[in-house]
């Protein structure tokens, strides 16, 4: 059994930490310490209590030592893995990200990766990641770093730019859901449904704007059945995890109508959920107004919903920590623990991952962050050459990737004029006049200035 230390930055997480801890408790070849570091130390202490209760669950396989750290360096000391999952800012800032653009006719279904919200979230997040990268370089330079924070692409970019020798990658589960969708297609068209891990999907793009160019189960190319399947289901849609109408009550649900529409147009399948994909296109395509959103059968995730969900999760954490609610230990569909086991040489794994482009996507600028498949083996994560994207898709991916590069340079140099160049070129801002774009950017910066202290907001006057 391998004994390791995992340093968890954002260890007060209200949801993902528990998923991670559950999965770790159910493997039989890893053990050791999980160090929890969070600016909200009380939340980290609750997760420590939850972890200790997990250790007492009847079906626990491995018991871990949970420790709360009040400073980052101590948490990172002797770490074999560093996991980063943080919320940059509060829901007050996210409310600005999502709600302020509405008065300019810009609706966002998520607001954490692309569009005005994605830019503002990056402004808040990158300075934190600069410090994380410096600390990792200083304290545990050989540790493997797994990022789960959005905006995924620019967070991973920051880690590599500050510490080029870092061993880091970004993990996102959106592709998993699309694989489930493809398995449902196979079930209807061929009469059998494999597990998503039994199909192989060719993946390429950037995070949340990732595309599947081929999907195979044994000798079956699932794309061969997509035209007929979409013809039958385009109007009502199909949600791989529930009802086609579930989006009406669950703002994280969708009916894949956008995904089907894109496949009809381009012949490749968007590999993220519809609510992410739509934010990379002109806002009149799918996000013109709430009525259009409803027609496409996804939802605008409101901040009020997120706030209420946060309070529910805090209460659930308290109940689990105090044993008021029993631990129900079961494995998730996430792959982080499997990837760690592969890096430790206990298995091997192929999965989609966000890495520096070393040529695995030759159509995209080298050195940028792209999402493709990679092989995970002992102390190694090697990207796999991706199939080329159609030119029409590539043009849009390149635009969005260029926006990330421009945005990063602006943030790195604390140059709000360059940041604005990325802001105004976001597809969701396509219908803004230049003056309206300036006004919106200034307003969003002013409303979130408490988290933008590393920038000189007086520079906004020179836009």
Residue 312: what pLDDT?
95
Q: What is the pLDDT of residue 437?
A: 98
How many degrees, rounded to 5, is the angle at CA 98 between CA 371 and CA 304?
A: 110
Question: CA 113 to CA 70: how far, in whole Å?
Answer: 30
Tell me the pLDDT band of 271, cut-offs 50, 70 and 90: very high
What domain count does the chain have? 1
Report the 10 Å Cβ neighbour count for 175. 23
- Domain extent, residue 226, equals 174-295
Q: What is the pLDDT of residues 21-55, one digit of tens each?
A: 999 999 999 999 999 999 999 999 999 999 999 99
* 206 inside domain: yes
Look at residue 443 and tell me if it is in a domain. no
Catalytic residues: 173
Residue 89 has pLDDT above 90, yes or no: no
pTM over 0.85: yes
Residue 216 maps to a domain: yes
Residue 210 falls within a domain, yes or no? Answer: yes
pLDDT above 90 (res 15): no
313-352 pLDDT, tens digit each: 999 999 999 999 999 999 999 999 999 999 999 999 999 9
Which tokens is 458 given?
A: 């007086």
The pLDDT tens digits of the residues spanning 440-462 come to: 999 999 999 999 999 999 999 99
pLDDT at 448: 97
pLDDT value of position 224: 97
| pLDDT higher than 90, residue 266 | yes
Q: What is the DSSP string of 250-298?
A: -TT---SHHHHHHHHHHSSEE-S-HHHHGGGS-HHHH-SSHHHHHHTT-
Structure tokens at 444: 């969003």
In a domain, 203, yes or no: yes
Q: What does the buried/exposed string (b/e) look like for 352-365 if buried means 16 or more CB atoms within 10 Å of the residue's CB? A: bbbbbbeebbeebe
Q: Is 272 inside any structural domain? A: yes
Q: Assess if residue 198 is contained within a domain.
A: yes
Q: For residue 407, what pLDDT is reported?
A: 98
**124 is a domain residue:** no
């Amino acid at each position: 059994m391998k004994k390791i230390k995992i340093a968890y930055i954002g260890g007060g997480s209200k949801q993902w930490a528990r998923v991670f801890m559950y999965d770790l408790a159910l493997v039989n070849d890893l053990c050791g310490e999980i160090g929890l570091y969070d600016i909200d130390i009380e939340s980290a202490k609750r997760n420590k209590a939850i972890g200790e209760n997990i250790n007492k669950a009847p079906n626990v396989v491995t018991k871990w030592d949970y420790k709360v750290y009040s400073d980052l360096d101590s948490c990172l000391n002797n770490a074999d893995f560093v996991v980063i999952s943080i919320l940059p800012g509060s829901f007050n800032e996210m409310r600005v990200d999502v709600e302020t653009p509405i008065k300019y006719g810009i609706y966002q279904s998520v607001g954490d990766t692309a569009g005005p919200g994605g830019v503002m979230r990056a402004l808040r997040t990158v300075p934190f990641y600069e410090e994380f990268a410096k600390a990792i370089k200083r304290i545990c330079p050989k540790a493997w770093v797994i990022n789960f924070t959005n905006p995924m692409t620019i967070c991973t970019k920051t880690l590599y730019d500050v510490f080029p020798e870092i061993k880091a990658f970004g993990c996102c589960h959106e592709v998993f859901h699309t694989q489930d969708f493809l398995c449902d297609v196979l079930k209807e068209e061929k009469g059998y449904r494999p597990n998503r891990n039994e199909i192989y999907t060719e993946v390429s793009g950037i995070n949340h704007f990732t595309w599947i160019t081929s999907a195979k189960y044994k000798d079956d190319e699932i794309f061969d059945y997509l035209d007929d399947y979409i013809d039958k289901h385009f109007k009502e849609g199909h949600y791989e995890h529930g009802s086609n109408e579930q989006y009406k009550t669950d703002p994280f649900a969708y009916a894949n109508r956008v995904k089907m529409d894109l496949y009809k147009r381009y012949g490749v399948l968007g590999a993220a959920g519809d609510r992410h994909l739509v934010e990379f296109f002109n806002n009149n395509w799918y996000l013109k107004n709430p009525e259009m959103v409803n027609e496409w059968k996804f939802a605008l995730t409101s901040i009020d919903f997120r706030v209420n969900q946060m309070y529910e999760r805090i209460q659930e954490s308290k109940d689990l920590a105090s044993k008021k609610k029993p631990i129900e230990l079961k494995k998730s569909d996430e792959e982080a623990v499997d990837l760690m086991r592969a890096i430790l040489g206990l298995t091997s794994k192929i999965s989609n991952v966000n890495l520096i482009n070393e040529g695995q996507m030759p159509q995209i600028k080298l050195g940028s962050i792209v999402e493709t498949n990679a092989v995970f083996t002992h102390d190694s994560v090697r990207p796999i050459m991706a199939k080329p994207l159609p030119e029409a898709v590539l043009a849009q991916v390149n635009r969005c990737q260029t926006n990330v590069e421009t945005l990063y340079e602006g943030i790195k140099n604390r140059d709000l004029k360059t940041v604005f160049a990325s802001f105004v070129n976001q597809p969701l801002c396509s219908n803004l006049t230049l003056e309206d774009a300036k006004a919106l950017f200034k307003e969003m910066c002013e409303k979130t200035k408490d988290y933008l202290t590393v920038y000189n907001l007086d520079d906004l006057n020179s836009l």
